[in-house]
Amino acid sequence: MLIKEKKGVQYISIDEASDGQRVDNFLIKILKKVPKSHIYKILRSGEVRVNKKRVKSDFKLTLDDEVRVPPLAMDESRRSDSSLAKHNIQDSIIFEDDVLIALNKPAGIAVHGGTGIQHGVIELLRHERPNDSFLELVHRIDKETSGILLIAKKRSALLHLHKQIRDKKIHKKYLAVVFGKWQKKQLNIDLDLSIKNDGDHGKKVKVISSKNTNIKSKESRSVFFLRQVINDVSFLDIKLITGRMHQIRVHLSFLGFPIVGDDKYGNFDLNKDFIKKGMKRMCLHAIELGFQHPLTNQAQLIKAPEPKEFSFFKNYA
């Protein structure tokens, strides 16, 4: 990406990393500290131009296009965030090649910044690797969930993997610790889920129990496998067939086996008891991710180690 500046206005030449990207998404990527509302405002006003012409937000950029970005937005994007220096997300890398990075994301860190969150994994990684021209999330996992998170280093890899996700060709396996003594070796769950606004607590997912309803819902399917029962908690492996918001957490809560430490769908009294004993996180971990590699077209399986915190239960009596 070549950048020229003239009287505070920047002219950016589009390279392969941004070829085919919508102009609004391109601006959101490079103007990390600028609110999205302001980005859409400068697009509507014509302050952003591509090859000297006004464009709409859905305009797709092509190789060697020249994007004019006004000075106010660029000044905003340069605001430093000293708190970024407090983290080193690169320590979490468990796999990397020419087009992909796989992180073992710690629990408690969001995958991206947003409402009430200054920065997430992707902002931290871009801050630590300023010479990488393209770094984008392939998928997302909850803030309180740990485990494998895939980052694309090339736009072609991102599009390749997104197609696999749409075609349901991605293998996702999770490990959860739940309250209760699980009995079945394998259990298939298929439920309709609906997202609702939970006021100050953000969005929450609920199970739609009746087909005769006008509430919009989506099918969600998971397969649960019993790994181990230790006293009053159970270790489960979970294979996702669909990938709905909070799917595993909602399924387990519905079944009466809430995840230990889940403060949204869990058992709050039992959580308090475990917090006093030293378990201070939600016990859900993305342990495996399988896909077709975008370069080699060969099957790729990435595994994350079991969290050290989970050994708490093996010593729990």
- φ/ψ region of 102 (left if φ > 0, alpha if ψ in -120 to 50, else beta) reads beta
Query: Which CA distances in Å does 16 have to 20, 134, 137, 145, 251?
Result: 9, 9, 17, 33, 42
**Residues across the chain:** 317
Contact 51, 65 (CB under 8 A): yes
Element (H, E) at 123: helix 121-128
**Catalytic position from the list 24, 65, 142, 262:** 142
Domains 82-166 and 171-314 belong to one CATH topology: yes
pLDDT of residue 317: 54
pLDDT digits (tens, 9 = 90+) for 51-106: 999 999 999 999 889 999 988 655 444 444 444 545 688 899 999 999 999 999 99
Condensed to tens digits (0 to 9), the pLDDT of residues 207-266 reads: 886 565 677 888 899 999 999 999 999 999 999 999 899 999 999 999 999 999 999 999
Per-residue pLDDT for 283 more than 50? yes
Cα–Cα distance, 123 to 75 (Å, whole number) = 18
Other beta carbons within 10 angstroms of residue 311's beta carbon come to 10
**CATH architecture for residues 82-166:** 2-Layer Sandwich (3.30)
SS3 25: helix
Strand partners, 169: none
What sections of 152-277 are H helices per DSSP?
155-166, 247-255, 268-277
Judge whether 112 and 121 are in contact, CB under 8 Å. Answer: yes
Give the torsion sign (CA, 8, 13, 17, 23).
positive
199 pLDDT tier (thresholds 50, 70, 90): low
- Distance, CA of 147 to CA of 240 (rounded, Å): 15
Around Cβ 173, how many Cβ atoms within 10 Å? 21
Cβ contact 145:107 at 8 Å: yes
Phi–psi pair at 196, nearest 5 degrees:
-130, 160
Superfamily the domain 171-314 falls into: Pseudouridine synthase (3.30.2350.10)
Residue 24 among the catalytic residues: no
Distances (CA, A) of 249 to 131, 257, 290: 38, 9, 21
First-last CA distance in the chain? 57
Summarised one tens digit per residue, pLDDT across range 9-31 is 888 988 877 888 899 988 888 88
Both tokens of 244, joined, read 């709905």
- pLDDT higher than 90, residue 308: yes
CATH 3.40.50.2300 is right for the domain spanning 2-77: no
- Domain boundaries of the chain, sorted by first residue: 2-77, 82-166, 171-314
- Flag the least confident range among 111-120, 245-254, 302-311: 111-120
**Phi, psi values for residue 175, rounded to 5°:** -120, 130
- Pairing mode of beta strands 233-240, 171-179: antiparallel
On average, the pLDDT of the chain sits at 87
Residues 6+ apart with CB under 8 A from 310: 175, 177, 235, 283, 285
Residue 99 DSSP one-character state:
S
Angle, to 10 degrees, between the axis of helix 23-30 and the axis of helix 36-45?
130
DSSP state of 232: T
